[in-house]
Amino acid sequence: MLIIFLWNCSRKEEQLELGFEYIKKGNFDAALERFQKVYREYPDDLRVLKGLGYILSLRKISMVSSIHLLEEYMKKRDDPEVRRELLKLYLDMGMFSKAERLIASDRISVEEYLSLEMAIYRAAISCLKEPNQAHSNELKKIPQSTLRDYYLARCMMQDSYKLGKSLEFKEIIDRFEDSELRCELEFITPGDKVMDDIRHGVILRECRKKYPGSLTIQRERPVKIYDADVPRLFDDFLLTPNDPDHRVMEEYKILIEERSKSVVN
């Protein structure tokens, strides 16, 4: 029995390691298959929740499920890497209240809360939630860094932000030394903000090739849910590579319509 137990543990570890390695290489279907195998036997394994959460965040149809899994993971393990990815996902989807709660003082240590990184995140959430000159100035007060400039650029690219000086926006992107973060910005920046659509499309293709494992770069866009109380839509049938279930989308539409009616009434 001990030998069987150890063999099963070894097999599980091997599948998990392969899954995360495939994510880094951008081979998401292969990663999904590995996590799917482990999930069937160990549905509560935290690393399975993390891996599935990452992969499901790539498709619009399963992003709500991704958030649920990553939130469950973060309830049981404080993981700065997952926090950053979940924060980006919240901001992509316009879920600003959740983003604020994720880095609230009761969710992280005092040292983390007072850190420069968290100060940038707090200012960034305010700026993305309500993009304007005043909020971008709050970000500019924070000492210059790649992370600060990344979110400053994200704030300035919003449609509601009246870009008075497009040159300033372009200068922020051009001075980026972190090529992956620059690619992220290029990917989420509307082409007409800085360049023509053809050149922008070429840059996006190059970014995808250069960083195949970047969830932000590979994620389907655009997607906005905002802070609607959307029920969890996770089920095992979502874990089928390249086989989106249209029934899920229909259920999702019905849920949103019902939620909208209840708000109106």
pLDDT, the chain, mean:
79
Q: In Å, what is the CA distance from 157 to each residue of 145, 184, 211, 212, 221?
A: 18, 13, 22, 24, 15
Q: What is the reported pLDDT for 164?
A: 52
211-216's contacts with Cβ under 8 Å and 24+ in sequence apart are 211/180, 211/183, 212/25, 212/26, 212/27, 213/23, 213/24, 213/25, 213/26, 214/180, 214/183, 214/184, 215/54, 215/57, 215/58, 215/85, 215/88, 216/88, 216/92, 216/184, 216/187, 216/188
pLDDT at 81 over 60: yes
Q: What is the reported pLDDT for 241?
A: 40
Mean pLDDT of 170-189: 82
Mean pLDDT of 160-181: 72
Mean pLDDT of 133-151: 92
Inside any domain, residue 88: yes
pLDDT at 4 over 70: no
Q: Total structural domains in the chain? A: 1
- The string of pLDDT tens digits covering residues 146-167 is 999 999 988 887 755 555 556 6
Q: What is the reported pLDDT for 1?
A: 53
pLDDT at 239 over 50: no
Inside any domain, residue 24: no
Inside any domain, residue 69: yes
pLDDT at 257 over 80: no
Inside any domain, residue 224: yes
The more confident residue out of 192 and 235 is 192
Mean pLDDT of 12-33: 94
62-66, 125-129, 186-190, 195-199: segment of lowest average pLDDT: 195-199
Inside any domain, residue 210: yes
Residue 194 CA neighbour count, 13 Å, CB half:
22
Domain encompassing residue 88: 59-114+178-264
Q: What is the reported pLDDT for 70?
A: 95
Inside any domain, residue 226: yes
Inside any domain, residue 46: no
67-81, 98-112, 245-259: segment of lowest average pLDDT: 245-259
HEC sequence for 160-205: CCCCCCHHHHHHHHHCCCCHHHHHHHHHHCCHHHHCCHHHHHHHHH
pLDDT at 101 over 70: yes
Inside any domain, residue 257: yes
The more confident residue out of 158 and 236 is 158
- The string of pLDDT tens digits covering residues 53-79 is 999 999 988 999 999 999 999 999 999
Q: What is the reported pLDDT for 79?
A: 94
